Amino acid sequence: MPAALSMAMPARRAFARAALARRLSTGAQPPRVLVTGSLGQLGSTMVDALRARFGQANVVASDIRKPAPSQRASGPFVYADVLNRRALEQVIVDYGIDWVVHFSAILSAAGERNPALGLDVNINGFQNVLELARVHGLRVLSPSTIGAFGPTTPKDLTPDLTIMRPNTIYGISKVHMELLGEYYCEKYGVDFRSLRYPGIISADSPPGGGTTDYAIDIFHAALKHNRYTCFLQHDTRLPMAYITDCVAGTMQLLEAPQDALTQRVYNVHACDFSPEELVAEVRRQHSADFAIEYCPDFRQAIADTWPRTMADAPARRDWGWNPTLGTADIVRIMLAKLHPVYEQAAAAAESSAAAEAEAPAVVV
């Protein structure tokens, strides 16, 4: 066994952190990172974390949408369609990119609404990134999902290696991504890394068309109307995580030394809940008379094929996955972040209504 592999895990992690700190403090260049899909739900938070770590100028954000002025002000942003390999290659060459964090994707519900787009972006977009990684010697981190599992996968404590026969375009495209990434790693030595995210909850940007979106929408509805119509059944348990745990874990895997990795794709589990458990927590922390109605739609059939809980010992052992937030924490944070936003909006609406009432009527 190579010496690095026989090193105890906490020692290996400390070693990796020290090596990176040395690299950054001894004047060695930090990696130049390209983030695709950086205007999505997870992308902007990931860009902030990467810029805090490697420096603003070393992290190039990209998407096919127009960024808000604040997103443009925090560092380089380029238009990059992952379906256009030549254009993507130009960004990689022009900016001297070392690592790609590939977040462009069409999520589960959006993929069922538009399967052709889902296949194109998730499969062809990823193939472009991977092929460019091979040609230019890049590290690639591209997240997978609980959606890569399917109806015949064991649902509780789902292990890393198990039956994977998803029946959504999203799931099929993510299994393709996992396997092709592993193939490029074995065959061409591409440093491909992936982790299977659960549903990610964040107050900072809207969700992009997934099946777990209810767990974000519910907070906005609670603060706006004190009621919510949920598109999943009351007892649909799914794995979830708060964005800070997701970003911290992604950074850990991204920076882990190659020889710490015993596999290329890792399950990560933080917490799990059903809509009715989330409602109970919202009632406890926000409003006892918060009203809920359950009207399952096509997303129920998707959720029914996903795990309830995941086993993630290899991620904890190999690169230190260590989420800290559970359901009650997530509810507390979401309410605390969104409450002032809705209070301000209500105050602004009130003062504009008062101004309208006071304005003299215009006689035509």
Ligand X SMILES: CC(=O)[C@H](N)C(=O)O
Ligand Y SMILES: NC(=O)C1=CN([C@@H]2O[C@H](COP(=O)(O)OP(=O)(O)OC[C@H]3O[C@@H](n4cnc5c(N)ncnc54)[C@H](O)[C@@H]3O)[C@@H](O)[C@H]2O)C=CC1
Tell me if 43 sits within 8 A of 35, measured CB to CB: yes
Torsions phi, psi for 22 (to 5 deg): -60, -45
Annotation marks residue 342 as catalytic: no
Contact 103, 42 (CB under 8 A): yes
Nearest CB to ligand X, comparing residues 85 and 308? 308
| Nearest residue to the partner ligand Y, using Cβ | 40
CA angle, corner 135, sides to 130 and 136, nearest 5?
Answer: 95
By CB under 6 A, name the one of 37, 40, 118, 147 that touches ligand X.
147
Residue 143 near which of ligand X, ligand Y, none (CB within 5-8 Å, type-dependent): ligand Y
Judge contact between 145 and 200, C-beta under 8 A. no
Between CA 253 and CA 191 the distance in angstroms is: 12
Which residue in the list 95, 170, 214, 228 is annotated as catalytic? 170
Residue 364, classed as helix, strand or coil, is coil
Contact partner at residue 83 from ligand X, ligand Y, none, CB < 5 to 8 Å by partner kind: ligand Y
Q: Show contacts with ligand Y in window 98-117 (CB under 6 A).
A: 103-105, 107
Angle, helix 327-358 to helix 214-225, in steps of 10 degrees: 40
Query: Which of residues 45, 108, 128, 267 is near ligand X by CB under 6 A?
Result: 108
CB of 299 to ligand Y, least distance (A): 13
Residue 226's region, left for phi above 0, alpha for psi from -120 to 50, else beta, is left
Residue 276 binding: pick among ligand Y, ligand X, none (C-beta 5-8 Å cut-off by kind): none
70 contacts 64 by C-beta, under 8 angstroms: no
φ, ψ (nearest 5 deg) of residue 265: -130, 130
* Residue selected from 171, 210, 275, 320 as contacting ligand Y according to rule CB under 6 A: 210
C-alpha 146/C-alpha 266 separation (Å) is 11
Contact pick of 47, 88, 97, 146 for ligand X (by CB under 6 A):
146
Site for ligand Y in 291-350 (CB under 6 A): none
Subset of 35-64 contacting ligand Y (CB under 6 A)? 36-37, 39-43, 63-64
Residue whose CB is less far from ligand X, 88 or 110: 110
Binding site for ligand Y (CB under 6 A): 36-37, 39-43, 63-65, 81-83, 103-105, 107, 121, 125, 143, 145, 197, 199-200, 208-210, 212
Q: Which residues are catalytic?
A: 170
